[in-house]
Amino acid sequence: MESTVKKNSNTENNTTIKTTKKTSKKMKKFLSYAAFVGPALLFFIVIQIIPFFMGVYYSFTSWNGVSSAVEWIGFDNYKQIFTNDPKYYDSFEFTTKFMFAAVVISNIIGFTFALILNAALKTKNVLRTVFFLPNVIGGLLLGFIWQFIFVRGFSAVGDLTNIDFFQLPWLGDASTAFWGIVIVFAWQISGYMMVIYIAALQGIDTSLIEAAKIDGASLYQMITKIIIPLILPAFTICFFLTISMAFKIFDLNLSLTGGGPFNSTQSVAINIYQEAFTYNNYGVGSTKAIIFFIIVAVFTTVQVMVTKRKEVEA
């Protein structure tokens, strides 16, 4: 009897010790995860989540952004925007056109750079740095630099060469100002896209390319039939990034044209900024921001779904 009792007690002690060890291991894992993820999660909640829900709340109010009086007005702001705010629709039209042009041009340039620099060039590392460098420069600074180039630099070159391209009123006319912003955006962001495409290209099995060359495939056939289908996930990422960046353009637009001439190049972000902080209609500005968020979220979600389906088909 005594031996049986001792065995049972020893078994219980061993079980308790094992349970305690497992609990301590789980606690250590939790604390290590919390130490690494906790600060980032806290900042994300404070900087992103809380302001977002505050914006949703203020979109149903009439508030000037300064006074303590916040009046709940329900869906009046939404009704006003959908029925009587032509400037908001104009800014959406400009932003949508800009997005399509910027996405196509940026990805073509980035993919072309990636194809060139993926080859065995002696200067490829230097060129990668040079092409990526514009992405490091801040948008406002970049805009002011290109504003000087468009206004003073192009004018000086045009006077010397009499080439019509350099004599255009790049930031003074609606059509040329539009393409001026597209050029600067593509110049800034194409290097970033290039890096993603290079990473994808380096994952391709070189034996496939060599076999295609032996079979007599042209460069166009290798790009369209082999390379692009194999790196479609990279296109999904690049399209998502360029679409979201182009939709949310603010700093380049502000420093290059400020939305001019005559609001012809005013992006949605600038329209929201002016509504909230220039005209002191914080409630209406929040409403515009929420509508803008929903449209961008739907657009990017559809884009990812479509391109992911293409990946599966390929």
In a shared domain, residues 167 and 108:
yes
Q: Residue 103 — left, alpha, or beta (φ > 0 → left; ψ -120 to 50 → alpha)?
A: alpha
Burial letters 153-189, b for 16+ CB under 10 A, else e: ebbeeeeeeeeeebebebbeeeeebbebbbbbbbbbb
Query: CA-CA distance, 23 to 117, in Å (whole number)?
Result: 52
CB-based contact 55:289 (threshold 8 Å): yes
In a shared domain, residues 131 and 203:
yes
255 domain residue, yes or no: yes
Query: If residue 41 lies in a helix (H) or strand (E), which one and from where to where?
Result: helix 2-44
In a shared domain, residues 2 and 89:
no
165 domain residue, yes or no: yes
Q: Residue 280 — left, alpha, or beta (φ > 0 → left; ψ -120 to 50 → alpha)?
A: left
In a shared domain, residues 150 and 46:
no
In a shared domain, residues 131 and 269:
yes
Structure tokens that stand for 189 in this block:
């962001």
How many C-beta atoms surround the C-beta of residue 272 within 10 A? 22
64 domain residue, yes or no: no
- From the list 131, 294, 312, 311, the residue with the least C-alpha distance to 234 is 311
In a shared domain, residues 137 and 94:
yes
pLDDT at 215: 82
In a shared domain, residues 112 and 20:
no
pLDDT at 21: 64
56 domain residue, yes or no: no
162 domain residue, yes or no: yes
- From the list 142, 138, 103, the residue with the least C-alpha distance to 241 is 103
Q: Side chain identity at 183, as an amino acid letter?
A: I
The domain of 162 spans: 77-313
Regions in the chain scoring below 50 on pLDDT: 2, 5-7
What pLDDT digit, counting tens, does each position of 170-190 carry?
888 888 999 999 999 999 999
In a shared domain, residues 271 and 139:
yes
134 domain residue, yes or no: yes
In a shared domain, residues 281 and 169:
yes
What pLDDT digit, counting tens, does each position of 288-304 carry?
999 999 999 999 999 98
The number of domains in the chain is 2
62 domain residue, yes or no: no
Q: Side chain identity at 162, as an amino acid letter?
A: N
Q: Side chain identity at 54, as an amino acid letter?
A: M
Residue 71 DSSP class: E
In a shared domain, residues 121 and 159:
yes
User: Domain of 225: which CATH number?
Assistant: 1.10.3720.10
60 domain residue, yes or no: no
In a shared domain, residues 17 and 159:
no
**Can you spell out the DSSP letters for 136-204?**
HS-HHHHHHHHHHIIIIIHHHHHHHH--HHHHS-TTTSHHHHHHHHHHHHHHHHHHHHHHHHHHHHTTS
Structure tokens that stand for 31 in this block:
């604390």
In a shared domain, residues 24 and 81:
no
Q: Within a 13 Å sphere around the CA of 122, how many CA atoms are in the beta-carbon half?
A: 0
